[in-house]
Structure 1
């Protein structure tokens, strides 16, 4: 039997899992996250989910979580949407339970790692991954390697000050709900039908996202920025205003050499989690 890697994408509402074997992701499953339960209950839920995959010959387990992580020790430092999961020694718990290598990182870092290893980012040595959803997350790949920083906090542009708030306030689903009292998906339908207010919403969103991208370019000047998350599917509605915003960048040659691409993978969280294991242990699956 070929060695397999288990990837878990742990979120506030659901836990998704999948197996990478022979270079292909398969056996994707999901369960609800018991977000309001005790730490012990959540740990046992994760362990039971992993046990359901033990009929595979697992070479390792990769996990992405929406919060900060002490990557070396595998300690989850805190999750805002899972109150009991604060300073949890998740790696130690799982290694003791299953005896397998375990690697844990922030979910946005996993996204960047996943698109670099398996997706449209494969041809780039330097890229930034941005997940556009309920919030906004960022991950960085430099010289072909994921850069997580201290406690996986690299790429947390969501919290950087912008206008009267921060970038997440203007570059995620929060923008549409705060200023247009609607979800991006429903607004997109209206915009495609010609609704001028909905069209304006995405034009404003694109401007703000362009300002965030300029902020990123001044610090990193990557070859590519890969957009993921559900809002990426509305890209035609905000692309023009985003690019218009980028015209104000001070170094035109950086813009000329920049590619902004959409992730083609819907399971980038799981792909990124298994990429953590591959990159750390140099497992060959083909």
Structure 2
């Protein structure tokens, strides 16, 4: 097992950049001690958005802070802290983010994509703590997967590990069928409306979520074939739907050819409201972890 570095008294800042929203928080002993959230102009220049990120960090930084972790919805050169083609931010095509922030704050900077931050956040602060091998699945506008193996975050050579959403499925891919946007695309029903109707036991809504559960079950089977984790944690907007499609997921999983993998699998739903900040902060502890 890893030594839980997040339990010591080191203060770390976690930053989440998600389209128009920028969040930053100072984390100490599992607690977000101070935080700031701001709306940014996602069509602003590279320099304008970088300036806003620095402003957010400055609002929560103290002399005790030893590092900053940043989660972004993009491909990341993890070793050099470079982000490429950030989703919904056209000007951020290639930004030397770690170097730029390190020159400003003179502390360690770690950058990774948002799905990986979700997974490592759950590992250090959420329901993933008991597991050495786990997967975080975050389903919102896209379908992201973060992988924890042998207690460490696995990003792959090019930060491309876990892109299961792009695997072909039915007449499209898993991301097409396993995100809330499919409800509106296929059925003309927004996810909030669908959830409200499901809570009232509306038969149409329940039938839609039954098919969604079947699709998600096949998606999880694919993860099992590749990774055989102990636990899968669901996050993002889709997590609130899980009680309505849970049984259909397990119906599919019971047909998996390796019964032990299913028998030993836990599927949980994230309930940590600050996981975006905590997950970014956890990048620091994951990077500092020594065996």
TM-score range, shorter chain: over 0.9
- 5+ long unaligned stretches in structure 1: none
1:5 to 6, 12, 26: 12
Distance 2:286 2:142 in 1: 27
Q: Alpha carbon RMSD of aligned pairs, Å? A: 1.4
CA shift, 1:166, in A, is 1.1
Deviation readout 1:141-176 (Å, 9 max, x if unpaired): 001010000221111111111111111100011211
Structure 2 residue 57 is the aligned partner of structure 1 residue 50:
yes
Q: Per the alignment, do residues 134 and 171 of structure 1 end up closer, same or farther by CA in structure 2, a change over 3 Å counting?
A: same
Distance 2:223 2:97 in 1: 31
Distance 2:144 2:203 in 1: 29
8 Å CA contact 1:175–1:205 kept in 2: the answer is: no
8 Å CA contact 2:26–2:61 kept in 1: the answer is: no
Q: How does 1:20-35 map to 2 (within 5 A)?
A: 20-35=27-42
- Correspondence for 1:159: 166
2:286 to 258, 279, 282: 279
- Correspondence for 1:109: 116
2:183 to 176, 181, 190: 176
- 2:19 aligned counterpart, secondary structure: coil
CA shift, 1:282, in A, is 4.7
- Correspondence for 1:227: 234
- 4+ runs of 1 displaced by more than 2 Å? 54-57
- Correspondence for 1:197: 204
Q: Per the alignment, do residues 229 and 120 of structure 1 end up closer, same or farther by CA in structure 2, a change over 3 Å counting?
A: same
Structure 2 residue 262 is the aligned partner of structure 1 residue 255:
yes
Q: Give the TM-score of the pair, scaled to structure 2.
A: 0.93
2:48 to 13, 32, 41: 41
1:69 to 66, 76, 83: 76
CA shift, 1:252, in A, is 1.0
Deviation readout 1:59-87 (Å, 9 max, x if unpaired): 10000011110000000011131111111
Deviation readout 1:242-267 (Å, 9 max, x if unpaired): 11111221111110111111112122
Q: Give the TM-score of the pair, scaled to structure 1.
A: 0.95
* Higher mean C-alpha displacement, 49-58 vs 80-89: 49-58
Distance 2:130 2:61 in 1: 34
CA shift, 1:56, in A, is 4.9
